[in-house]
Structure 1
Amino acid sequence: MDIYQSPLMSLPGITPEEYSYLQQATTGLTEQQLRNFLMVYSSKRKNPSDMLIFCIIGLLIVPGLQRFIIGQVGMGILYFFTLGLCFIGSIVDIINHKTLSFEHNQKMVFESLQMVRMGGFQ
């Protein structure tokens, strides 16, 4: 299948490493399972560009917002009460926004695959 015709390419802001990871993870799924996976995964996935916006808002307005968004509540609370670890943590998150979103998305791939494979999503 041509890379540009792949249903995985419909995800906004998909990076080559995420595409590769998704391709490996979805190997062996039927076409229906792949459609179900994409529906579940796209609702849980964080776009790297959106993560950059969350990181900037986290630096300027609400410290730790980016950590709350990706489900790291403990780190979000820590960032909130320490002003983003004295702004250093928030700046590091801005630099590493692609890594933050990719790591979150890897967890969401696993969760989405479990839902599809267990038949929890018909």
Structure 2
Amino acid sequence: MNDFYFASLPGIDHEELIWLDELTKKFDAETKQRFMILYQNRRRDPQVILITCLLGLVAVAGIHRFLTNQILMGLLYFFTGGLCLVGTIIDAINYRKLAWEYNKQASMDVAAMLGRFDRH
């Protein structure tokens, strides 16, 4: 598999690219390809997080928190109008950090899952 394959992910930044390369450096080509397929399905594009966050300013608040598996925060935002819009505005500013935290955990989960299955 091409080393630039990770760069084709939408909205990927340099930090995430380095993280994925380091996380998968010991994987063989087949395992790396399986990692990429699984990670691509779980990964959240930062632009999607931003759009759903901005949607919370005019419609339903908290959708971006549900997308990042922060269910309780999503419910809190939903019932408080994004904490009276202040929380939603802060999240709109920090949308890349929200996406990065989710994506980092998703990548570790996928790598751990592949590690368990490849040992058999």
Please indicate the TM-score interval, normalised by the length of the shorter structure: over 0.9
TM (norm. structure 1) is 0.91
Aligned partner of 1:102 among 76, 100, 103: 100
Counterpart check, 1:72 vs 2:83: no
- Tell me which residue corresponds to 2:18: 20
Q: C-alpha separation between the residues in 1 aligned to 2:3 and 2:84?
A: 46
Q: C-alpha separation between the residues in 1 aligned to 2:68 and 2:49?
A: 9
Equivalent residue pairs, number = 117
Gaps of 5+ in 2: none
Residue 80 of structure 2 aligns to which amino acid in structure 1?
A: T
Residue 111 of structure 2 aligns to which amino acid in structure 1?
A: L
TM (norm. structure 2) is 0.92
Q: Work out the percentage of aligned pairs sharing the same amino acid.
A: 36
Q: Deviations over 1:59-94 (max 9, x none)?
A: 221111110111100001111111100100000000
Aligned partner of 1:89 among 87, 108, 116: 87
Q: Deviations over 1:16-44 (max 9, x none)?
A: 01101111111200100100000000000
| Cα RMSD (Å) | 1.4
Residue 86 of structure 2 aligns to which amino acid in structure 1?
A: I
Gaps of 5+ in 1: none
Moved over 3 A (4+): none
Q: C-alpha separation between the residues in 1 aligned to 2:102 and 2:57?
A: 20
Residue 38 of structure 2 aligns to which amino acid in structure 1?
A: V
